[in-house]
Structure 1
Amino acid sequence: MAFMRFPFSFSPLRPPKFPRPFTAFAVAAAAVGASAAVVAVSSSDRSSLWNAMSSVVSSQHSSALWGSLSLEDNGVHVLERKTGVSFPSALGPSLKLCGIGLRKKSVFGLKNIDVYAFGVYANDEDIKKYLSEKYGKLPVSELQGNKEFIDDLMESDIPMTVRLQIVYGRLSIGSVRSAFEESVGSRLRRFGGSDNKELLQRFTSQFRDEFKIPRGSVIHLSKEKGHVLCTSIDGQEVGCIQSKLLCKSILDLYVGEEAFDEQAKEEIENNVATYL
């Protein structure tokens, strides 16, 4: 697979501003479905491949454009440049990539380490179904940072998946369990009060000591229809829990008010808004 390193971010359609080689790539991608392309993402360079492709198919809605790039088996991946982790542009037939980011953790208050890269996926048709009536006529700029919009996204019965790809080589499953006890536990208390210890324990107990998660391991946290959260580790399903509160608490880590990666949150908001 050839790695084509171009800056990339998910952003609303607008006139493209990028150098000629970037435009050439966008034209080729639209013409041949971007077979076997890998697009690099830089958190410091916000030039947009989305904008580049919009210059090729400017008359089409963004979801139609994504349709040419959304099949996981077409070889299209988005590369997170800092870690070198690549994400498929789609999971299965219906979940489209909305944004990627990094989970960092402070070590003794001295430095941050990159723990995992993450990608957030959502079903664009269900986004339209549940959110377009309320938000479809609003411009993307008004939805950016709109707390009510994000709350509705998290609480609606929209299938979403957070894909975690481990980049820290010495991460243990016990550390993952402890980190979720802290981060998910704080959200459960915020959204549902203090009487949710059993729910938190049911979730964290899925990360059993028998699992090894070396660099490159993949964890999926998938919100399925009916507000069912299913967890898998390297393709093995480890449990499903029906809980709207738990689903919202997980998604809040990545798209909520205190998201792990603020820049990724903004990209996700922008891209979800283009599906309306």
Structure 2
Amino acid sequence: MVSLRFPFLFSQPSNHSHPTSHGPFRPVAIAVAVATATVAGVSTYQNRKHPFVENAINFLFSNHSSTHLWGSLSLADNSSDTVVESKTGVSFPSVLGDSRKLLGIGLRRKSVLGLKNIDVYAFGVYADNGDLKKLLSEKYGKLSLSELKENKEFNADLMEADICMTVRLQIIYSKLSIRSVRSAFEESVGTRLRKFGGSDNKELLQSRAKIACLFTSQFKDEYKIPRGSVIDLSKERGHVLRTTIDGKEVGSIESKLLCRSLLDLYIGEDPFDRKAKEDIELNLASLVQK
């Protein structure tokens, strides 16, 4: 049934990686310079009014232009308040609320016509520490890290269990429109809904289409998402997916299928950032074993 309501272990980077601490650093300045150059390059293409390039940018992060370029950062069991994504300088709180711990961070990048890679958004994946221990420790707590890494049920159980989780997106690309976000989720989440939705009979197809429509309709044209905007996609008790933009709740949907489909984009078999998924798996194993 679908209802709609509106209103640790982290590994340290090598000496060649950017530091993960507060305050301005040279690597952050370099990342800003690179981002500026990237935007300038895109602006040059747009000024040429080339229709193919404009269309590619408009649908910036649909799956058709996807690349798996990794921007994740692996960090040690973290006593600091924030963690920095090394390629962009974007920071994430190490804990959301009282108990959702940061498991890993990554970078969603897109290739425009094979000419330029665009940093679209950085993301962080969080999970409730108490839920992890309560629902997964009994089954997986005695397994070694290597055994958990080879266990295909581990991530599936994480997505299926009633564990509170949040995927936080921090927008990097300054020209990203809410329409592009909506189109991207229509495709990527829609693909996962079909993947996990079971039999392809007419009734189930209609049900999955309704779920996808309810979710993407939350991203209304009236919302603006300039660079620095934060979108939280939070899985709450009872498999309710709650969406907020810059702290304002824009809707919530109760659907176990939708929650799993959304999480699959980041920790599933074909994630947006594979290095981020590896970090998340290691941190999950560490928390479950404690």
TM-score range, shorter chain: 0.7 to 0.9
1:123 equivalent in alignment to 2:128: yes
Following the alignment from structure 2 to structure 1, what is the Cα–Cα distance between the partners of residues 155 and 72? 25
CA drift at 1:141: 1.6
Q: Rate the CA distance shift 1:201–1:215 in 2: closer, same or farther, 3 A.
A: same
* Structure with more contact order per residue of length (Cα contacts < 8 Å, sep ≥ 6): 2
**Matched AA of 2:257:** L
**Matched AA of 1:203:** F
Q: Rate the CA distance shift 1:95–1:17 in 2: closer, same or farther, 3 A.
A: closer
1:216 equivalent in alignment to 2:221: no
Unaligned ranges ≥5, structure 1: 1-7, 20-24, 27-33, 54-65, 70-74
**Matched AA of 1:108:** L
Q: Rate the CA distance shift 1:272–1:232 in 2: closer, same or farther, 3 A.
A: same
Q: Which of 239, 242, 257 in structure 2 is aligned with 1:245?
A: 257
Aligned to 2:269: 257
Contact 1:37 1:77 in 2 (8 A): no
1:274 equivalent in alignment to 2:286: yes
What secondary structure sits across from 1:138 in the alignment? coil
Aligned to 1:234: 246
Q: How does 1:151-162 map to 2 (within 5 A)?
A: 151-162=156-167
1:168 equivalent in alignment to 2:173: yes
Contact 1:97 1:120 in 2 (8 A): yes
Aligned length: 231
Q: Which of 70, 73, 81 in structure 2 is aligned with 1:76?
A: 81
Aligned to 1:4: none
What secondary structure sits across from 1:189 in the alignment? helix
**Matched AA of 2:275:** Q
CA deviations over 1:195-241 (Å, ceiling 9, x no partner)? 11010000000000000000000000000011000000011000000
Following the alignment from structure 1 to structure 2, what is the Cα–Cα distance between the partners of residues 232 and 112? 27
What secondary structure sits across from 1:104 in the alignment? strand
Aligned to 2:213: 201
**Matched AA of 1:168:** Y
Aligned to 1:146: 151
Aligned to 2:103: 98
TM-score (structure 1 length as normaliser): 0.76
Following the alignment from structure 2 to structure 1, what is the Cα–Cα distance between the partners of residues 160 and 188? 18
**Matched AA of 1:217:** S
CA drift at 1:93: 0.3
**Matched AA of 1:77:** T
Report % sequence identity: 64
Unaligned ranges ≥5, structure 2: 1-7, 32-69
**Matched AA of 2:10:** F
Q: Which of 169, 177, 180 in structure 1 is aligned with 2:182?
A: 177
